[in-house]
Amino acid sequence: MEKYRNREQAGIFLSEQFKEYANRTDVTVLGLPRGGIPVAYEIAKTLSAPLEAFIVRKLGMPGHEELAMGAIATGGVTVFNKDVLQRFQISEEKVQNVIRLEEQELKRRDNTYRGNKPFPKLTDRIIILVDDGIATGATMRAAILALRQQKPKSIIVAVPVAANTTCEEIETIADKIVCPLRPKLFYAVGAWYDHFDQTTDDEVRELLAKANIIVRTR
């Protein structure tokens, strides 16, 4: 596999690695919105496992928003990329401004995807945590730290592509990582897909609803 056609194909390819978890009652698939949800949906569908959106927001550096200086996640967890903060000498005021803005978006998305439905309890569950790829790793680290607070049985990270060094870093805080494509020269997540259009909120809601129907009828 040199490149994925799209997120759906990546999810189908990844799901082959998880068949031992099919039809279990202690597995939950969590997708990181928005791009991680189409990948996670294919895994959840194959396993007949519940699918939930787990909200994490990247903290983009002011003026260079694509560069992550950290991330925040559901549960009030904040993770900083200390190398970026030190290199660019970003003031505490600017950091807090970015955090406030991203907290608003995190709450909006949580409301959009979940409405009034409470987030499920994850204690003693096997979590398969999915994204469409990992760049800096800040988002995934924030997600793992937030999920550890809920005391799951294990956290397995599933991503179609990430730099090999990033995978090694994630392996130190997750119980396992499944990542078939680990290029030495990474560039960006989208470089490893033929089609990498932005996933919309409507698409996320639709996939979450479809996954819930599969679980209810199994």
Q: What is the arrangement of strands in the sheet containing 56-61, beginning at the earlier edge strand?
A: 56-61, 64-73, 77-80
Assessment of whether the complete model's pTM goes beyond 0.75: yes
Beta bridge partners of 60: 68
Q: Is 20 exposed, middle or buried (0-12, 13-18, 19+ CB in 10 A)?
A: exposed
Tens-place pLDDT, residues 8-31: 999 999 999 999 999 999 999 999
Q: How many CB atoms lie within 10 A of CB 135?
A: 21
Residues above pLDDT 90, as percent of the chain: 67
Whether 11 and 36 have beta carbons less than 8 Å apart is answered as: no
Task: Give the C-alpha separation, 20 to 26, whole Å.
Answer: 12
Show me where the domains of the chain are located.
Answer: 7-57+123-216
Q: Report the pLDDT value the prediction gives residue 81, as an integer from 0 to 100.
A: 82
pLDDT tens sequence across 35-74:
999 999 999 999 999 999 999 888 999 988 878 888 888 8
Please tell me the class of the 7-57+123-216 domain.
alpha beta
Q: Which of 60, 11, 18 is nearest to 37 (CA)?
A: 11
The predicted pLDDT at position 68 comes to 84
SS3 content of the chain, % helix, strand, coil (to 5): 45, 20, 35
- Greater confidence, 21 or 75? 21
99-122 per-position pLDDT tens digit: 999 999 999 988 899 888 888 899
DSSP-assigned letters across all residues of 170-212: HHTTSSEEE-SB--SS---GGGGBS--PPPPHHHHHHHHHHHH
Read off the pLDDT of each residue in 72-81 and give the average, rounded to a whole number: 83
